[in-house]
Structure 1
């Protein structure tokens, strides 16, 4: 008799895991504590809520995340299906309307005959049966303690959420539309230019601004991919000009040159009524955010629909604790998926959920478990979080540096294309092994 699977957490990884297991004929009970209880960063009642950016990053195979998305498309990922159905303009990136995306995934999950959604908070991991722990980076206290007991230790760090402004409060006479290097439709971003004096005054205020202090028992460790803008500024006065405020590839059509610095605003929803400040995650106090971000040309009268905030991310030491199949070494009936394993990013979380879901289903059926080929993006990421030799394990986005090297001497400009080609060829050979 096939066992039932319990999935803890209705985020990107949990929903993908539940979907993949259910598609393979296994009954799934998916636990999600919302709407009875919300974390400090969640607001929507539905499943698969995106709490940081609405961007799923680049689609080009020149970037490893683009390859990962293409692999998930070919693997019939629910995450990619939902993203394609709810996407908004974002240049060379794939971005979604976060409310429509959550609604889409929720509907698909709730309508699947093999999935039962229970809106309850889980504080202990079931002692019997197959369990996928996908409780996410905002795992609630009691469950986090339970995972700590089970795993022996757990680590944590902070992410920072970027503000969102109302489109009708932007002064468009001071901003120009363009995508970096003309990618996408060429005008998907609003760009707020700064001259040198404006930039240095802005950085000065950022550095002097009042910040939200962490609680005394919390040690702050920022992941590089979600570094607060004021933390970046503290690394050097010009740092932001080589980060989220870099002007390269953005020519102001009014003057015909690149500005000294640029703040990019990305469309947040299909209706284009909201824009987020790209790369401006922050832990400044709310009054300081309003004061300082209104120094940005075009945002002097900005209405903030969401201000930036901080939340804690919890993740396990995956290389010490997990097998390449996502199973817990000390108790193989338990699998982990998503950001709690140390993958970083929406797409990466979904890919982790895919592997855990397929393996949970195979475990329930008594079939051999799968490990994605290392040449694929999904496999390279899985291999990294379970085999890394780093002395101090830290969360990681997918990148081509995680892939096995190509044979022979390859020109740098050709390398990424060849890695992507090799990855897709490996995926095609692997597809029959993971068929529904």
Structure 2
């Protein structure tokens, strides 16, 4: 009987893992509980559905760690990057996509692949045998989550992830707002005007903070502790940390000039980014929130230009579970106690669409190679992929382990370059050059071995 790789979950990680394994010659079954079993955040049964932002963040592969991860995934023939490039929206130096066509295209590519089968069913128990990748993401079902928790014997780790609101463009007052990317970044006019900006003076900002702090917010169930990931903090939590926190975060006014009042420097600026190719929907950048729906509309309409805003989706908050990966996973992404099972995606303790897909890419390749009798060496630590894998499988402190985005702080130090702000550009370029060489070498060794 032909061996099959079973993948639980059809999000970014599961989709990428399935593609990589199938392209290597392994038969794959994707077990996806949607649409039969719904989640708080998903709207469809499409694979790789984007439920929060529509951005894969910076696409700069020389000065940004996530852009470097984009490069490595493209070099490996990654499905997520191929599809993102095909459905790209203007976003300055970032890679943002038209979310619905993106998910539909990923779904079509996977379901049409001759080696991939999709089964719409929920997996509720730990598989006893076979070849498996669990890539259930931040919204792992209660049943499977309980089974994993019972098997690990460890207290479940959790934090709360928040979703930003989306606004209908036609409801925005463009006599107050304007289109501009920070510092006019971008090679084309479309990229240089990828963001919609709403300015605030000091009085408006102070009133907004007051309303934000006083707004009704989602309460947690008794016994739950909110451990937020700092890269996705609700705006209320940021405001509670200090009245100026938002002004130095998502509402920073730098690199922008208001054409309606070019001589007046805004005290704060709220940015919105296009959320679909038609330009009819814009999401409020960095405005993840746990405000209740009624409070959201009241508070957000205090933003100049959004007084009459109509919302295609309001923000929300949900529980996000992840493994204590440094204690549970080996360098090949295998569960140490059950080596026939690998984990991938956000459940491993990485954060973000790109990082999740990247861990799916690694897990899919590792599993397929093992099944084909050609096990791969560990991912080189000097690559962006390897830096992430090393962090979650032993590089991080298990006692304080929290979800992590890729960043240059995870990379091994460079020799021969001085630190400090003056040398940062050269240092980042050296990191990316070293990473590209390491990743290219790893991929080439696989091609030679397969030949």
Does residue 23 of structure 2 align to residue 17 of structure 1? no
Tell me the residue number matched to 2:232. Answer: 226
Alignment of 1:154-303 (within 5 A): 154-184=156-186, 185-256=191-262, 257-303=264-310
1:394-422 deviation digits (Å, cap 9, x = unpaired): 00000001001100233223111111111
Tell me the residue number matched to 1:104. Answer: 105
1:240-281 deviation digits (Å, cap 9, x = unpaired): 010000011112123225311000010000000000000000
CA distance in 2, matches of 1:150, 1:88: 43
Tell me the residue number matched to 1:33. Answer: 33
Does residue 139 of structure 2 align to residue 138 of structure 1? yes
Alignment of 1:40-119 (within 5 A): 40-61=40-61, 62-119=63-120
Q: Which has the higher mean CA deviation after the structures are superposed, 55-64 or 402-411?
A: 402-411
CA distance in 1, matches of 2:202, 2:291: 23
Determine if contact 1:374/1:380 at 8 Å carries over to the other structure: yes
> Structure 1 segments of 4 or more deviating over 6 A?
none
The structure 2 residue matched to 1:356, chosen from 360, 363, 372, is 363
CA distance in 2, matches of 1:370, 1:361: 13
Tell me the residue number matched to 1:414. Answer: 426
The Cα of 1:2 is off from its aligned counterpart by 5.5
Secondary structure at the counterpart of residue 160 of structure 1:
strand
Determine if contact 1:2/1:364 at 8 Å carries over to the other structure: no
CA distance in 2, matches of 1:263, 1:342: 30
The Cα of 1:196 is off from its aligned counterpart by 0.3
Q: What's the RMSD between the two structures over aligned residues? A: 1.2
Determine if contact 1:248/1:258 at 8 Å carries over to the other structure: no
Determine if contact 2:137/2:345 at 8 Å carries over to the other structure: yes
Determine if contact 2:176/2:260 at 8 Å carries over to the other structure: no
Determine if contact 1:241/1:261 at 8 Å carries over to the other structure: yes
CA distance in 2, matches of 1:73, 1:377: 13
CA distance in 1, matches of 2:144, 2:127: 11
1:16-46 deviation digits (Å, cap 9, x = unpaired): 1111111111111110011111111111221
Does residue 440 of structure 2 align to residue 428 of structure 1? yes
Does residue 406 of structure 2 align to residue 394 of structure 1? no
CA distance in 1, matches of 2:430, 2:417: 12
Does residue 153 of structure 2 align to residue 152 of structure 1? yes
CA distance in 2, matches of 1:386, 1:179: 38
CA distance in 1, matches of 2:237, 2:339: 40
The Cα of 1:366 is off from its aligned counterpart by 2.2
Tell me the residue number matched to 1:403. Answer: 411
1:275-298 deviation digits (Å, cap 9, x = unpaired): 000000000000000000000000
Aligned residues: 436
Normalising by structure 2, we get a TM-score of: 0.95
Secondary structure at the counterpart of residue 103 of structure 1:
helix
Determine if contact 1:130/1:360 at 8 Å carries over to the other structure: yes
Normalising by structure 1, we get a TM-score of: 0.98
Determine if contact 1:2/1:365 at 8 Å carries over to the other structure: no
The Cα of 1:56 is off from its aligned counterpart by 0.4
Tell me the residue number matched to 1:382. Answer: 389
Relative to structure 1, the CA distance from residue 403 to residue 2 in structure 2 (aligned partners, 3 Å threshold; closer, same or farther) is farther
CA distance in 2, matches of 1:412, 1:291: 43
Q: Which has the higher mean CA deviation after the structures are superposed, 37-46 or 222-231?
A: 37-46
1:339-360 deviation digits (Å, cap 9, x = unpaired): 0000100000000000100011
Determine if contact 1:11/1:134 at 8 Å carries over to the other structure: yes
The Cα of 1:126 is off from its aligned counterpart by 1.7
Determine if contact 1:30/1:115 at 8 Å carries over to the other structure: yes
Gaps in structure 2 of 5+ consecutive residues: none
Determine if contact 1:163/1:304 at 8 Å carries over to the other structure: yes
